[in-house]
Amino acid sequence: MYVLQFNANDDDLYSNIPNKDALGFLKENIPLFECPDKDFERTYYFRWWTYRKHVKKTPDGYVITEFLPDVSWSGKYNTISCPAGHHFYEGRWLHNPRYLDEYSLFWLRKGGKPRLYSFWIADAYRARNLVTPNNDFLVDLLPDLVKNYEAWEAGWKWLAHRIGQRENGLFYTLDDRDGGEESIGGHGFRPTLNSFMYGDARAIAEISRMAGNAKQAERFKEKARTIKRLVQEKLWDKEAGFFKILPDEGKPLKGVKELYGYIPWYFNLPDPGYEAGWKELMDPTGFYAPYGPTFAEQRHPEFKIAYAGHECQWNGPSWPLATCSVLTALANLLNNYDQDVIGKEAYFETLKIYTRSHQLNREDGKVVPWIDENLNPYTGDWISRTRLHEWAKTSSDIEKNKGGKQRGKDYNHSSYNDLIITGLVGLRPRADNIVEVNPLLPVDTWDYLCLDNLLYHGRFLTIIWDKTGEKYKKGKGLSVFADGEKIAHSKTLTRITGTLK
Mean pLDDT (the chain) is 96
Which residue pairs from 493-498 have beta carbons closer than 8 angstroms and sit at least 24 positions apart in sequence? 493/439, 493/441, 493/443, 493/465, 494/438, 495/426, 495/436, 495/437, 495/438, 496/436, 496/437, 496/438, 497/434, 497/435, 497/436, 497/437, 498/434, 498/435
What pLDDT does residue 39 have? 98
CA proximity to 131, closest of 429, 357, 441, 353: 429
What pLDDT does residue 235 have? 98
CA 402, 406, 409: angle at the middle one, nearest 5? 115
- Give the Cα separation of 496 and 478 in Å (integer): 8
> How confident is residue 452, by pLDDT bands cut at 50, 70 and 90?
very high
What pLDDT does residue 431 have? 97
Residue 113: partners with Cβ closer than 8 Å, 6 or more residues away: 75, 76, 79, 81
What pLDDT does residue 473 have? 95
The lowest-confidence range among 128-137, 331-340, 383-392 is: 383-392
The lowest-confidence range among 265-274, 356-365, 386-395 is: 386-395
Peptide bond into 369 cis (omega under 30): no
Please give the average per-residue pLDDT across 335-362, as a whole number: 97
What pLDDT does residue 110 have? 98
Please give the average per-residue pLDDT across 474-484, as a whole number: 97
What pLDDT does residue 133 have? 98
- Give the Cα separation of 119 and 23 in Å (integer): 31
3-state secondary structure of 387: helix
CA proximity to 69, closest of 321, 416, 401, 375: 401
Does the structure show a pLDDT above 80 at 122? yes
Residues facing residue 237 across a β-bridge:
242
- Give the Cα separation of 489 and 341 in Å (integer): 29
Residue 21: partners with Cβ closer than 8 Å, 6 or more residues away: none
What pLDDT does residue 309 have? 92
Domain residue ranges of the chain, discontinuous segments joined by +: 114-271, 431-501
State percent of the chain over pLDDT 70: 99
Does the structure show a pLDDT above 80 at 399? no
Cβ contact 209:218 at 8 Å: no
Q: Summarize pLDDT for 185-216 with one digit per residue, the tens.
A: 999 999 999 999 999 999 999 999 999 999 99
Does the structure show a pLDDT above 80 at 322? yes
* Residue 251: φ, ψ to 5°: -105, 160
Cβ contact 234:174 at 8 Å: no
Cβ contact 387:400 at 8 Å: no
Please give the average per-residue pLDDT across 308-328, as a whole number: 96
What pLDDT does residue 405 have? 75
Q: Summarize pLDDT for 230-254 with one digit per residue, the tens.
A: 999 999 999 999 999 999 999 999 9
Cβ contact 257:244 at 8 Å: yes
Of 364 and 104, the one with more pLDDT: 104
Please give the average per-residue pLDDT across 404-430, as a whole number: 95
Does the structure show a pLDDT above 90 at 500? yes
Does the structure show a pLDDT above 90 at 82? yes
> How confident is residue 99, by pLDDT bands cut at 50, 70 and 90?
very high
What pLDDT does residue 401 have? 74
Please give the average per-residue pLDDT across 56-60, as a whole number: 98
What pLDDT does residue 389 have? 85
> How confident is residue 402, by pLDDT bands cut at 50, 70 and 90?
confident
Please give the average per-residue pLDDT across 276-300, as a whole number: 98
First to last CA, the chain: 35
Residue 326: partners with Cβ closer than 8 Å, 6 or more residues away: 259, 262, 263, 281, 293, 350
> How confident is residue 363, by pLDDT bands cut at 50, 70 and 90?
confident
What pLDDT does residue 391 have? 84
